[in-house]
Structure 1
Amino acid sequence: MEARELLECAATFGISDSSQGSSQFGDTLEIAVFPDQGGRGLGVARNVEQGEMILRVPFAALIGVHCAREDPEFGKVLVDFAHLSSVQILTAYLLSEVAKSCSSRWFSYLRHNPQVHHSLPHFSAMEAEELQVEDAISMAKSSLEDTQRQWRETSSLLSRLRLPRKFTTFKAWLWAAATISSRTLHVPWDDAGVLCPIGDLFNYDAPIERTMSSRNEDDELEFTNRLTDGGYETSISSYCFYARRSYKKGQQALICYGQYTNLELLEHYGFLLPDNPCDVIYIPLPSPEEFGLKSTGDKSERQHNLAAYCIEASGKPSFSLLQQLRLRAVPASLRKSHGYMASQGLPISRESDQLVFLWLQKKCQKLLEKLPTTIEQDERALEQLEKSTSSGSCGVERHKLAIKWRLGYKTILQRCLTYSKGESLGFE
């Protein structure tokens, strides 16, 4: 029933995956369920080559702020709420369309949107505590507070629209906000993006290489990303999707939304990616005193872009983190004369590099010991939840997500600990 109605929706709006350019759906893609790869998604119905256009969604099918402004009733009320953000307007418009039920032109699409979300704003205080890491707990709390704030700011608009009460509650807003956060696609003309029928069925694939953005190939990279993911193309007034790799018939077609850590995926989309190559753990830089040196107060000792100083998913320190640790592990005089070596990815001295990897060992060990459970305990807890008779309930699903996230966090720390020990042994 669901697949059939979505296909009818595709036909209504002229959504096409035809390699011949006709307005039909089913030539290249098919709606399918991939239990181990994100659930409901789009599989390929034939062999597809990388860079091939696999879906075209006309502008008329897209749901965005432009629809809200053009709606006779909604648009009339909206003129008094110029202070609201595009995201708030689109969230309110989504609720107004859902409230119309079968009279909405997008009814067959909207009724099959997920009714349950597991993104961070949905986590209760107790569920957030299961993340264990203070930064993650804080993010869950602030995400919920931000969603509540946006709802309060938009409540007058919802009231003026005279929606049925159940569509003006925070529960309804939380659902709509999660739908906008997790299912909208980027467009150049509006920050809120657009809901894209059929196009939002593509599941996520991580960037092929995390460090691609650091290369000096910006023009080529931009061209390649356009070909292998998707975007709105004004020349044909459609949102177009391209195969980011070659697929065999029956495989799931995936797109990359961008570069996200697992915590960011959980915050915005409500899922985690096993072995996410973009996952990182941010590490505050140590003071020279932690290496037994005297601080000079020069600018090289200050915190810069914290996001660059991280342990990567492999367990290795990022280039920037290793560079800064090497600079901080040597006296100021040596830093001035040999600091260029750290910028080239080289150790400044054998002794200082030994200090660097010993510091990393201790840091990872300290972070692991600070957490209330071990990797082994988390694995057992997850196994028990999987066997639980209540598995599938919202609370249990979020509990599992919390355990999986903190397991990934600890696994990266353990990898870094093992890597640093191995590097330290090389100095003996």
Structure 2
Amino acid sequence: LQVLLSYGTYTNLELLEHYGFLLQENPNDKTFISLEPEMYSLCPWPKDSLYISQNGKPSFALLSTLRLWATPASQRRLVKHIAYSGHHISAESEAVVKEWIAKKCQLLLSSCPTSFDEDTLMLRIIDNIHDCNNEAETGAMLCDEIRSFLESNRVMHGKLSTKMHVSSKTRRSICRLKLAVQWRHRYKKILSDCILHCTRMLDNPF
């Protein structure tokens, strides 16, 4: 008997909050993008429609709003129907839109305490927790984070050891830590993919 479960259109963050897991390839995952205050008056859609999809592409509402914003104020009334139908207004405004989105994504990435590559390494360390010493030189900061975590759970003190006693309680804590790192890793991948997408569009607009 095959049992099919449906979790609706939850993002990974919502899955994590409600069910305690996430999906590596979640078609409903997205990263929400906040606009400048004056931009919201140009957006007829709800704020949760302004996002980057899991494949790195901006949403319809985000693109449409930014296309109208990138148009001179004196021309907006004339081209509003074009923007809201999802079409390009001009090559110039399209370039402004892609540059704004790429810059916004880069700012969000820069505000994170760790990078995408550091999270990749940290996930590898978590998966191979007993071999953490081997990663010490290439991931000192990450090992410090792991070390602090292990010390707080009374697994080890001082220098990392390859022979650590890990209780079932600590294993559960490690699983929660891994989920948190996986989520922020996916979040950064969406932003990075969007920057790549915008850069490609700027290089080859049509």
TM-score by length of 1: 0.37
Change (3 A) 1:262 1:391: farther
Structure 1 residue 255: Cα displacement: 2.1
One-letter amino acid of the counterpart of residue 30, structure 2: V
Structure 1 residue 315: Cα displacement: 0.5
- Write out aligned runs for 1:18-57 (5 A): 29=1, 44=2
Are the counterparts in 1 of residues 126 and 178 from structure 2 also a CA contact under 8 Å?
A: yes
Distance 2:203 2:41 in 1: 29
Q: Which residue does 1:264 correspond to in 2? A: 14
Q: Which runs of 4+ in 1 moved over 6 A?
A: none
Distance 2:123 2:51 in 1: 27
One-letter amino acid of the counterpart of residue 336, structure 1: R
Change (3 A) 1:302 1:276: closer
Change (3 A) 1:350 1:391: farther
Give the superposed CA RMSD. Answer: 2.1
TM-score by length of 2: 0.76
Q: Which residue does 1:415 correspond to in 2? A: 193
Distance 1:272 1:281 in 2: 14
Q: Which residue does 1:360 correspond to in 2? A: 101
Of 273, 282, 291, the match for 2:32:
282
What is the identity percentage for the equivalent residue pairs of Structure 1 and Structure 2? 41
Structure with greater Cα Rg? 1
One-letter amino acid of the counterpart of residue 419, structure 1: H
Q: Which residue does 1:425 correspond to in 2? A: 203
Structure 1 residue 284: Cα displacement: 1.1
Structure having the higher helix fraction is 2
Q: Specify which structure has the bigger relative contact order, considering alpha-carbon pairs within 8 angstroms and separated by 6 or more residues.
A: 2
Q: Which residue does 1:315 correspond to in 2? A: 56
One-letter amino acid of the counterpart of residue 69, structure 2: R
Distance 1:282 1:384 in 2: 29
Distance 1:404 1:388 in 2: 16
Deviation string 1:315-352 (CA, Å, 9 cap, x unpaired) is 00000110001011111221100111112211111100
- Write out aligned runs for 1:55-134 (5 A): none
Distance 2:35 2:87 in 1: 19
Structure having the higher strand fraction is 1
- Write out aligned runs for 1:344-423 (5 A): 344-389=85-130, 390=166, 393-423=171-201
Distance 1:415 1:365 in 2: 11
Unaligned runs of 5+ in 2: 131-165
Distance 2:29 2:124 in 1: 23
